[in-house]
Chain A
Amino acid sequence: MSRRSYNAGWSLTGWVFLILLLIFAVAPMLWMLITSFKSQFAALKYPPEFIPSNPNLEQYERLLSPKNEVGRQFLRYMANSIWVSTATTILGVAVAVPAAYAFARFRFPGRQALFFSVLFRNMFPAVVFLMPLFIMMRWMGLVNTYSSLIITYLTFGLPLSIWLLKGFYDNIPIELEQAARIDGCTRFQAFYLIVMPLSAPGIIATAIYSFITAWNEYVYALTFLNDDQKLTLPVGLQRFFTEYATNWPGLMAASFIMSVPVVVMFLILQKYFVRALTEGAVKA
């Protein structure tokens, strides 16, 4: 980590800007949390109560208790989301690592073109592909299965993953591997023992990215899954609270619960993310 001089001086503007930005970033989340502690009626008071006069955990109890239908359903959605996101993440890493390694190390014909074609994926909006992808998934018999989502989600994370990891592998001196090979390692062992640990921050970062993208995806999940039991959280969220009655506190509580896993994960692992970007993507 680079060492910055302390006497660079905190300009007042910097502080003011930071505080305003912090309010902008955090206040909506706070309001979500505050609303979620209100009753459905209290939420409709206007002007609203900034501190709930009668805070309660009613919404959370309903959503998280397997004793009632709503809770069972919500927990099921959550389990589905965890499964889809985890599978996407693991597969994503398994696919991205060898590809990034090959793009960094090997000099096969068409390498550049293929590399950029991978990066090009993000150019295509999800919405445009809904229909043809559905038809294709149907041919493959994957409609209403998690596989359809996992395959699709894989391609969201891959461009960034491959790009980041390739940056890492570019920076790992090839001599290290060669030395290991001389010591009798196979190529795989050299990769596993030398290259993998050095690129760990990159792998962690790409894993977080894949997980979050899959966790939050909405449009494909809406189209590919029919079975009520199989829905993921973002779709479930919409199903639950907007059809026949709006329940703002319930919606806010569900949004909060849904955000907790990814936010916590990101807060714990964010330093790897920054490191990965620094070392993998932008380091000159």
Chain B
Amino acid sequence: MNSSTGRKPTPRGLFGRIADHRLDYLYILPAIGVMLLVIAYPIYYTFYLSFFRTPPSLAMSDKVFNGIGNYITILTSESFHEVTINTVVWTVWSTFFATALGLGAALVLNRQFAGRGVLRGLLLIPYVISAVAASYIWRWIYHSDFGVLGAILNRLGIIDGKLNLLDNVNLVLPSLIVVNVWKEFPFAMIMILAGLQTVPDQLLKAARVDGAGAFHRFLHVTLPHLKGVMVITVLLLFVANLNHFTIPWIMTGGGPAGASDIWITQIYQIAFGRIRFGLASAYSVILFAVMVVIGYFYVRALTGNDDVRRRG
């Protein structure tokens, strides 16, 4: 049995300390093992393949070394510019609206009233159902020819004629963002709700005694307490949105005319539609690079939180 719970800092070398703690590693071995298995090789392979040209007429074993040619091809292509703008629009607005709606919902739900649990449960439903099902449901609601949304807007006199969302270059991305926000705001809501319950009552009371209005209390008492959880929520959503594949793929396949194409659908399209695994790998590496930057902030946010937790 090791003695790791009772720490005596022994001034030994790294390997000595590792040896001392060797049994500790057994606890994390399964988790780390399965992670390595599923992640390490694919990362290596993606990097490796990103330096090769793999046209559809060649077998994988005949791939041609291409240096950084794939990266140049991507970065100089016209579509990269367009797809990147779509990706930024998709990720930023999805994250923003999901967080904003989630925050609003959490603030309203963070009081005692009858039916609160039921209400919270109902609001959580979109988060739980599968993205595949959600995509079909919304495709049916949006349907240009038979969709219920078009029918309602027609009846209300807001539009006249067919409602064209998914077949319209200008409206398709906003329409998909709505679906994504629908799916994600409950996650932000539940995270922030959890965060709200940690705001000390005394502080709020004290603020009220001082004559601070509701908005003032929110701004100066509640919000600072929420900062940690908000940062984590935003980062998690940001990463999830950047990687989100199912909704755009099932609903529009990136169309029409590429108007809802984002990085991840492009990567899939290049890899499996156009069978350029080399090019797709280079694209993935670019995506990784962005992820690493976000990951840096993510880890910093988590460690910050960790410190707070330990102090508390």
Contacts and interface: CB of A to CB of B under 8 A. Distances in A.
Contact present between A and B (CB < 8 A): yes
Interface of A: 1-6, 8-9, 11, 14-15, 17-18, 21-22, 24-26, 28-29, 31-32, 35, 43-44, 46-48, 50, 94-96, 98-99, 101-103, 105-110, 114, 116-133, 135-136, 151-152, 154-155, 158, 162-163, 167, 170-171, 174, 177-178, 187, 212, 215-216, 218-219, 233-234, 237-238, 248, 251-252, 255, 258-259, 262-263, 266-267, 270-271, 273-274, 277-278, 281-284
A12 to B, nearest CB: 12
Interface of B: 1, 4-5, 7, 14, 17-18, 21, 24-25, 27-28, 30-32, 34-35, 37-39, 41-43, 45-46, 101, 104-105, 107-112, 117, 119-126, 128-134, 136-138, 140-141, 145-146, 148, 151, 154-155, 182, 185-186, 190-191, 193-195, 197-199, 201, 205, 214, 225, 228-229, 232, 236, 239-240, 242-243, 245-246, 250, 264, 267-268, 271-272, 277, 280, 284, 287-288, 291-292, 294-295, 298-299, 302, 305, 308-312
| B contact patch SS | helix
Given A25-B126, A270-B124, A283-B198, A98 B38 contact: no
Given A3-B201, A47-B151, A125-B264, A118 B32 contact: yes
A127 B151 contact: no
Given A105-B5, A154-B34, A218-B132, 11 more contacts: A6-B112, A17-B108, A18-B105, A99-B30, A106-B5, A177-B5, A218-B246, A263-B128, A266-B125, A282-B191, A284-B312
B193 A274 contact: yes
B190 A274 contact: yes
Contacts of A15: 108
Contact of B30 (A1, A98, A120, A133): A98
B229 to A, nearest CB: 4
18 contacts: A5-B205, A18-B109, A25-B123, A98-B28, A102-B25, A109-B17, A123-B295, A124-B43, A128-B46, A131-B271, A171-B309, A174-B5, A187-B1, A216-B130, A259-B128, A266-B125, A274-B120, A278-B194
Nearest to B245: A127
B183 to A, nearest CB: 10
B34 A158 contact: yes
A133 B4 CA distance: 36
Contact of A123 (B155, B198, B292, B310): B292
Contact of B28 (A22, A47, A114, A267): A114
A218 B91 CA distance: 21
